[in-house]
Amino acid sequence: MSTMVVSHLRPGEGGALRLFASQEALLAFAIIGIAILVGLYNPRFLATRNLADIVLGNAYIAVAAIGMSMVIVSGNIDISVGSLIGVLATISGTLAVAGVPIILVWLTPLVVGILVMMLQGAVIAYLRIPAIVVTLGMLSILKGGLISVTGGRWITDLPQSFHLADIELFGILPMPVLIMVAATILAALWMRYSASGRAIYATGGNAEAARLCGVSPRRTVVMVFALHGLFAGIAALLFATQLKVIQSTVPPNLELTVITAAVVGGVSILGGVGTVVGSTLAAVLIAEIASALVFINVSPYWIHAVQGALILVTVVADILRRRRRQVGG
């Protein structure tokens, strides 16, 4: 009955500094390091246009990863987000072409996203079906639904006002970056400082203890999925409004990239640990690697292998680290 000494990997002390811990620093170094190395090999990598493309084009993944991080911290997983984003993008495009006021075009995907995810969250929390089963099933329902409803048609003739992503605030700040950074900071602060945010960590870390302290793990899970749906909606908007044409298909393997970003960003798959700042940095890193592959003449077909290897290495390292810190059995 002796208590195990499980000390945490984060040295974290002090308030605000808690937002930044070793994993995030590691990612920041990696991003800079790769930029330097690849830039030396092929200076065109560092061209403003390219760097801007990397960040702008993939900001939506970072946003989606925020929600995914929360889901994983709470001790669950979701593999339906890719399909959901595809569906939401198509919805917004369709509404735009149909002449619906632009504010509704932007709001509807958010609402639909929240509802769909909340439904999954409720099934997981209250009907106690494992998250993998629910989200695997939902992935197929969404994917198949999208194809059968749209017949794979492309949406063209999008009105100019649709392109939210092209807006630059004050003429210099591109919307995607603005939204990505703002969402990350807000989410990070919320998770860190609000009671509900704390509840997510408590639920994922030790659901029993959480319940004994008055936190409701079930309500927390539904809330987490609702937020995840919100971020998926925002991500869908960023994704869709960059395109001239919306292909009514699901961007392939999007959920994998999002999960990779969350896991590599430091969210532990065992639940209860991780920050959204990490996942945003990781999303940027992954996008950077994908671009770097092109510039060092490696075929871009290797990107998924790289992603898989990244998840694997991160997870194995995380588990080994935890085990080494436990004294005895």
Task: Looking at residues 98 to 157 of the shown chain, list those that interact with another protein (rule: CB under 8 A).
Answer: 123, 127-130, 132-134, 136-141, 143-145, 147-148
Could you say whether residue 297 binds another protein (CB under 8 A)? no
| Least distance to another protein, CB of residue 75, Å | 11
Could you say whether residue 31 binds another protein (CB under 8 A)? no
DSSP 16: G
Give the sign of the dihedral formed by CA 45, CA 57, CA 263, CA 259.
negative
Instruction: Look at residue 174 and give its three-state secondary structure.
Output: strand
* 105 or 210: CB nearest another protein: 210
Could you say whether residue 302 binds another protein (CB under 8 A)? yes
Q: Which of 267, 197, 302, 234 is nearest to 61 (CA)?
A: 234
* 5 or 172: CB nearest another protein: 5
| Interface region with another protein, contact rule CB under 8 A, candidates 10-18, 30-38, 40-48, 106-114 | 10-18
| Interface region with another protein, contact rule CB under 8 A, candidates 6-14, 30-38, 42-50, 55-63 | 6-14
User: Residue 256 and residue 164: Cα distance in Å, rounded?
Assistant: 25
E strand residue ranges, the chain? 154-155, 168-169, 173-174, 246-247
Q: Which of 48, 171, 301, 324 binds another protein (CB under 8 A)?
A: 301
Of residues 44 through 63, those in contact with another protein by CB under 8 A are none
| Interface region with another protein, contact rule CB under 8 A, candidates 43-51, 62-70, 196-204, 238-246 | 196-204
Q: Which of 98, 103, 172, 305 binds another protein (CB under 8 A)?
A: 305
Q: Do 175 and 169 form a contact (C-beta atoms < 8 A)? A: yes
In angstroms, what is the C-alpha Rg of the chain? Answer: 20
Residues in the chain: 329
* 76 or 280: CB nearest another protein: 76
| Least distance to another protein, CB of residue 171, Å | 35
Total residues in contact with another protein, by rule CB under 8 A: 79
Long-range contacts at 114-120 (CB < 8 A, ≥ 24 apart): 114/226, 114/229, 114/230, 114/233, 115/229, 116/84, 116/142, 116/229, 117/78, 117/84, 117/225, 117/226, 117/228, 117/229, 117/232, 118/222, 118/225, 118/226, 118/229, 120/78, 120/80, 120/225
Of residues 216 through 255, those in contact with another protein by CB under 8 A are 253
| Interface region with another protein, contact rule CB under 8 A, candidates 42-50, 106-114, 203-211, 226-234 | 203-211
| Interface region with another protein, contact rule CB under 8 A, candidates 3-11, 29-37, 98-106, 280-288 | 3-11
| Interface region with another protein, contact rule CB under 8 A, candidates 47-55, 162-170, 180-188, 300-308 | 300-308
Could you say whether residue 191 binds another protein (CB under 8 A)? no
Could you say whether residue 289 binds another protein (CB under 8 A)? no
What is the number of other CB atoms lying within 10 angstroms of the CB of residue 191? 24
Could you say whether residue 22 binds another protein (CB under 8 A)? no
* 175 or 259: CB nearest another protein: 259
Q: Do 68 and 262 form a contact (C-beta atoms < 8 A)? A: yes
